Amino acid sequence: MNPRFGRDSGPPPPLGPHAQPSVTQAYIPYGYSHYLSSIGYPLSYQTAWSIPAMYAGPSQTAIPLQPNGANNVFARTPTSQPASGGTMPAAQMINSTGGAGCEPGYNYFFQPEHTKIHVFKTATPPWQLPAHTAIEFHACHVPVTTKLQDILKGFGATGRSARKNKCYEITQGGNGRWYKGLCFSADDKDMMKKAIQDIGWDASRTGRPGQKPVVCLWLTKDG
């Protein structure tokens, strides 16, 4: 993952000078090329593959690669926070340099078990929409140890009134309609402390044929 500070047995990064064009075109996710052009590669990629630095700006200050200044050879300048659309703050991990992702020189320790969650983006409750309505949604892998309060916070249900910050689980019927299921409110402090695996949102929710469906949610907030 990080060629300067850790193991990296994989291929060069997308769009790198040694990358295969066909592989680059096949594996760049939607919107990723725009993301790269707006913030550039992490500095470790830039130095390893001689990609020009794109972080520097007229008002940016160089920040050490590691918080304690150890083993610094290069400096890294912060970037502006990537846009998350305002509906999913948890879409980005912002580090102390102001950039996206882990601290420079660090890898992320992933949880061993995740569940699949789809969060619907609609102003109208899904169960009030006509049958077969196409609805945009966030699709995420979420650690099963995540607390309900972090689900609400991570998906933007952070209004002033805890009573109006709610998370609904919804299920799809065979008639193309959605139905309201469990509802969790941010003012229920005991419930907010529960891990999502304790309410059935666990690794078994894969959505694969013959297995349990993915977790589908709709959230509201005050203001």
pLDDT of residue 193: 97
Number of CB atoms found within 10 A of residue 192's CB: 20
Q: Report d(CA 220, CA 90) in Å as an integer.
A: 16
pLDDT of residue 36: 40
Q: Which helix (H) or strand (E) holds 151?
A: helix 148-154
pLDDT of residue 169: 97
Residue from 43, 10, 40 nearest 27 by CA? 10
Residue from 14, 103, 92, 114 nearest 65 by CA? 103
Q: Which helix (H) or strand (E) holds 218?
A: strand 215-220
pLDDT of residue 79: 53
**How many residues does the structure list for the chain?**
223
Q: Which domains does the chain have, with CATH numbers?
A: 1-109 (no CATH), 114-220 (3.10.20.90)
Cβ-contact 31, 83 below 8 angstroms: no
pLDDT of residue 22: 38
pLDDT of residue 45: 38
Burial of 97 (0-12, 13-18, 19+ CB in 10 A): buried
Here the tokens at position 134 are 């196409």
pLDDT of residue 12: 57
Q: Per residue of the chain (223 residues), what is the pLDDT tens digit? A: 454 555 555 555 555 454 444 333 333 344 433 444 444 444 443 334 333 333 434 444 444 444 555 444 444 555 555 555 567 878 778 888 877 788 888 898 899 999 999 999 999 999 999 999 999 999 999 999 999 999 999 999 999 999 999 999 999 998 999 999 999 999 999 999 999 999 999 999 999 999 999 999 999 998 6
Cβ-contact 152, 188 below 8 angstroms: no
Cβ-contact 205, 116 below 8 angstroms: yes
In eight-state DSSP terms, residue 50 is T
pLDDT of residue 15: 53
Is the alpha carbon torsion for 28, 33, 38, 44 positive or negative? positive
Cβ-contact 95, 102 below 8 angstroms: yes
